[in-house]
Structure 1
Amino acid sequence: MRIGLRILLGYFLVVGLAAWFLLNVFMQQVKPGVRSTQEDTLVDTAQLLASLVAPDLRAGTLDASPVAQRLRDHAQRSVDIEINGIRKRTLDYRIYITDRHGVVLFDTSRRDVGQDYSRWNDVYLTLQGKYGARSTRADAYDELSTVMYVAAPIRDGDQVIGVLTVAKPNASVQPFVERSQRIILQRGAVLLLLSLLVGLAFAWWLHHALARLMRYAQAVEAGQKVMLPELGKDEIGTLGRALEAMRVRLEGKEYVEQLMHTLAHELKSPIAAIQASAELLHEDMPAPERAQFLVSILEQNARQRQLIDKLLALVRVEKQQHLDSREHLAIVPLLEQAAQDGAAALAARGVQLQIEAQDVHVKGDRLLLRQALGNLLDNAIGFAPPGSMITLAARRQGERVDVTVRDHGAGIPDFATARLFERFYSLPRPGGGKSTGLGLPFVREVALLHGGTVEVVNHRDGGAEARLALPLA
């Protein structure tokens, strides 16, 4: 499982558990909170009404008192009020009054007058001087039928002479409870959705950054020319820059070691030849032989210089990860410049050159492309039979241009096909001698820098053909 997906799932798990916990707490606290508010209101109401009916209860005129009559009338009234979107059409208070023995003297519902309520907690506790309240189901099998009863003492001085209880069905506030719970669920769902979107955005950003870093690491592992992508200034960017610095150091160390090893190996032969010729020159010998050994020394020295120059050019392009600048270049002048550079070698070999090019443009480095074409042309001249024709062509193929250099020589042996682009690998040329073996590796590096490819194959009609493919400008 990808690290981005694992982080996303972990984030969702944490957010989901937190959301479930908070919603569960809120949902469980809504109903108790509303009922506590209702109870507080009932306490105030009961205390107020108890003080109002106390004079009539002391005088024994409760049943005929104006206060009792108004309480009866209040119970019969209807209303039409909207509270936060919830319609209220009835007054839900029930009020009853008992004497000091718990017998009901007054009841706004007029159904329990004369009943003994002394065992009910609201009356029982209040008569003992305690806070009396209870919640009782009107229907024993219906949890939503509970009614809250809150009592207040009716006093004559310090004595409790009765109890006034105010009752209100909990179902009357149930719509408010359900409305609050519904709002909490809706807001919680919105919050969870926003958290989901934030998590997705974060996971996408992390996956995108890690994917770019991973593609970079895979390209480095494959030996491709690649630049470190822009990763920002956060921890991932710091990690990427650290990997880039480590890559540069490791590649530099390995490259130098390999370069020194191969250079020392390739220089052994010309140095040995120069050493042998120089030693022989100390002896007496005929002038023609002495001249021959001097020519050998000069040739081997030129070979060393050519080897070092080409190796330095190859080093520069191998260490270069991208082109510093690109310009629009017409392909025809590039081919003509390469032909001009190889004119002396063509004449010395007695080989003709034919240019067949379409008018197309590429984008890149003029000098590097000119050197690469020169190397391809030099290889073709070296293997072309005297008096033959070399074809230098450029043709558009879709979104690229194929530059081909074809000779009419013996072609490429099967054993050498896979090694043509190895550093210092070369085949004997028909006229004798070998090249430095650095020309084709140089061309390959230039092609990579320009986003192109290069290959050398045997042509179906004989000879070899080098193909350099470059993107069109």
Structure 2
Amino acid sequence: MSLTLRFLAGFALVATAGLAVLFTQLSQRVERQYFEAVEEPMVDVANILAEILASQARDGVLQPAAVEAAIHAAQRRRLNAQIYSRTKTQVDMQVYVTDAQGRVLFDSAGIEKPGTISNHRDVNLTLTGQYGARSSRTDHYDPLSVTMYVGAPIVKDGRTIGMVSIGKPQQGVLSFVWETERWLQWSLITTVGLMLLGIFLAARWATRPLDALAHHALAVSRGERPKPPHMPGHQMKTLASALESMRDALEGREYVEHYVQSLTHELKSPVAAILGASEILQGDVPEPKRARFLQNIRMEADRLRDLLERLLHLAALEKQKTLETREPVNLGDTFDRAWDHHALIADARRVTLQREISGSLVIHGDPWLLELAVSNLIQNAIDFAPQGSAIIARAYRFDSKAVLEIEDTGPGIPDYARGRVFERFYSLPRPDTGKKSSGLGLCFVKEVTQLHGGSVELSDLPHGPGTRAMLVFQAA
């Protein structure tokens, strides 16, 4: 689904839900207000008729014949009243009268028989001095046969001698309600349609630059070299610039150029040494010198192999976006395994280990990658540590973090190298031999820590010469 359609679908869903709630509330309110508007004049009519009936009463006895005749005559009239869109053709208002005991004297609708006692709510409430109103169905099975009744007391000489109730069928009122609801429906539908059209045009306007970027990316993926599209606004220009940078990275120009230059530089020295020694060995060379040259060839070949292995490990690691293996790893055990690989080298340099590592410090990660990272830091510490010195290893928990520190008392990091120690192929000469390493170890450590969501830091010791390597991970 395109971004434009997502905008439309999301807006349509929200707008439809909101307007549906609004329509429900409006419909209920409209229906109520229509019935309120009808009930208010019914109260007036009921009280007017009550006064007419009171004036015609004789000796406290109601005389409803004249009112009954007038109502029947009105109901027989044929009307032609155009009330907006509805034509009214007859009087549909109903009237019934009871005496003070609730006995029906007459009912214009013929529902209540004269002489029966009415127990309807409007009768009982009106005769007790309250506001009497009710709604009742004339047909129990027809929801549209509801009639609204409003009562008024008939008072003569301060005494209630009966009541009159006005009835109005709601079906006539409902026709107005339904017409209004239809108008509301069409109004809301039109509003939603116009809003969808507006959001569609706005979404197309907003996503047109993204479409241009998408077409540009597809062209690049096909091997074409299109010009970067012109983008409006700061954010879109930044996105276009980032896409162009990604294009350069995908083409591999900067990546391959940097690798080839650095690798060529690193390979020159061992290859030259091997070629020189092999040329010398082609002549007549005394046995002691022959053995020394052969040893040099082997050492340089080992150096080349180590460089290529490290480079392969780093290249594979740089392609990983997430950890392929994630399991509980004990930092103390990881350090011990890594130290065992370098124990003989440390003994040869008379470098000892001071271990201050908690036995229960656990993180989640890849055991093999973590061991390689720690092994690289140990190798660096041994290479730079003076002979006869000690390497201090600490591991502890700080808040929710697991911290591993490895300290040596070597010369420390020169100021010119502080910002470059984690660069690929960058290396410092070892104090004893003056030789450099492959320059891939610390870069590998940085990649491993970032892949584990951690960090690595190299700093000088605060109390004297030396370097502290600090690994920080999220503790399990």
- What TM-score bracket applies, with the shorter chain setting the length? 0.5 to 0.7
Equivalent position amino acid for 2:75 in 1: L
Q: State the Cα distance separating 1:343 from its structure 2 match.
A: 0.2
Matching residue of 1:444? 446
Q: Which residue of 1 aligns with 2:471?
A: 468
- 1:388 aligned residue: 389
CA distance in 2, matches of 1:373, 1:311: 17
Structure 1 window deviating more from structure 2 (298-307 vs 285-294): it is 285-294
Alignment partner for residue 78 of structure 2, among 86, 94, 119?
94
Give the letter for the 2:342 counterpart: G
- Provide closer, same or farther for how the CA distance between residues 254 and 186 of structure 1 changes in structure 2, counting only shifts above 3 A: same
**Is structure 2 residue 368 aligned with structure 1 residue 370?**
no
Aligned to 1:315: 315
Q: How many residues align?
A: 300
Aligned residue number for residue 341 of structure 1: 341
| Distance across 2 between alignment mates of 1:192 and 1:472 | 58
Superposed CA offset, 1:131-154 (max 9, x none): xxxx788xxxxx86997789xxxx
Rounded Cα–Cα distance in structure 2 between residues aligned with 1:419 and 1:188: 70
Asked if the contact 2:404–2:470 (Cα under 8 Å) also holds between the matched residues in 1, the reply is yes
Alignment partner, residue 279 of structure 1: 279
SS of the aligned residue for 2:418 comes to: helix
> How much does 1:436 deviate?
0.8
List aligned pairs for 1:151-190, cutoff 5 A.
175-184=173-182
SS of 1:306's equivalent in the other structure is: helix
Q: Offset at 1:287?
A: 4.2
SS in 1 for 2:432: coil
Equivalent residue letter for 1:468: L
Letter in 2 for 1:451: G
Decide whether aligned partners of structure 1 residues 144 and 304 sit closer, same or farther in structure 2, where only a CA change above 3 A counts.
closer
- TM-superposed CA distance for 1:250, in Å, is 2.3
The structure-2 alpha-carbon separation of the partners of 1:177 and 1:145, relative to structure 1 and needing over 3 Å to count, comes to closer
Cα gap change, 1:342 to 1:194, in 2 (>3 Å): farther
What is the CA distance between 1:272 and its match in structure 2? Answer: 1.1
Could you list the per-position Cα deviations for residues 390-426 of structure 1 after superposition, in whole angstroms to 9, with x for gaps in the alignment? 1111111222201111111111111101111111100
Within 1, Cα distance between the matches of 2:377 and 2:436? 15
Could you say if the C-alpha distance between residues 93 and 386 of structure 1 is closer, same or farther in structure 2, counting changes exceeding 3 Å? farther
**d(CA) in 2 for partners of 1:425 and 1:190?**
69
The whole-number CA distance in structure 1 between the counterparts of 2:85 and 2:300 is 112
Q: 1:261, CA displacement in angstroms?
A: 4.2
- Give the direction of change, closer, same or farther, for the CA distance of 1:360–1:194 in structure 2 (3 Å limit): farther
| CA positional deviation for 1:456 | 1.1
- For 1:404 and 1:92, locate their aligned partners in 2 and report how far apart those are by CA, in whole Å: 106
* 1:229-286: CA deviation from partner (whole Å, max 9, x where unpaired): xxxxxxxxxxxxxx9xx99992778655644443233212111111122222334454
* One-letter code aligned to 1:373: V
Aligned residue in 2 for 1:418: 419
Cα distance in structure 1, aligned partners of 2:71 and 2:407? 112
Taking structure 2 as the reference length, the TM-score comes to 0.53
Q: 1:146 to 1:249 in 2, by over 3 A?
A: closer
**Which is worse superposed, 305-314 or 254-263?**
254-263
Paired residues for 1:108-147 under 5 Å: none
Counting aligned pairs with the same residue, the percent is 40
Residue pair 2:15, 2:192 contacting (<8 A) in 1 also: no
Tell me the CA shift for residue 430 of structure 1: 0.5
Counterpart-to-counterpart distance in 2, 1:289 and 1:145: 120
Instruction: Report the secondary structure of 1:325's partner residue.
Output: coil
Change (3 A) 1:317 1:192: farther
> Residues of 2 paired with 1:14 and 1:335: CA distance?
56
Q: Which residue of 1 aligns with 2:240?
A: none
* C-alpha distance after superposition, 1:283-314 (max 9, x if no partner): 44544444333322222111111111111111
Q: Is the 8 A contact 1:75 1:94 kept in 2?
A: no
Counterpart CA distance in 2 for 1:357 and 1:194 is 67
- Alpha-carbon distance between aligned partners in 1 of 2:14 and 2:457, rounded to the nearest angstrom: 55
Q: Tell me, yes or no, if the aligned pair for 2:78 and 2:89 is still in contact at 8 Å.
A: no
Q: Separation in 1 of the partners of 2:449 and 2:467?
A: 19
User: Helix, strand or coil for the counterpart of 2:419?
Assistant: helix
Name the structure 2 match of 1:295: 295
* Preserved contact between residue 75 and residue 93 of structure 1 (Cα < 8 Å): no
What amino acid is the match of 2:472? A
Is the contact between residue 389 and residue 408 of structure 1 (CA under 8 Å) also seen in structure 2? yes
Question: Gapped runs of 5+ residues in structure 2?
Answer: 28-67, 91-169, 197-206, 211-216, 218-242
Alpha-carbon offset, residue 362 of structure 1: 1.0
Q: Per-residue deviation at 1:94?
A: 3.0
User: SS at 2:356's partner residue?
Assistant: strand
Letter of the structure 1 residue corresponding to residue 407 of structure 2: R
3-state DSSP of counterpart to 1:271: helix
> Within 1, Cα distance between the matches of 2:86 and 2:450?
83
Cα distance change of structure 1 residues 147 and 371 upon mapping to structure 2, 3 Å threshold: closer
Pair 1:146–1:324, CA change in 2 (3 A): closer
Query: Residues 60-75 of structure 1: matches in 2 within 5 Å?
Result: none
Q: CA deviation at 1:336?
A: 1.2
CA distance in 1 between partners of 2:78 and 2:254 (Å): 95
Give secondary structure in 2 for the equivalent of 1:94.
coil
Secondary structure of the structure 2 residue equivalent to 1:418:
coil
Q: Please report the RMSD computed on the Cα atoms of aligned residues, expressed in angstroms.
A: 4.7
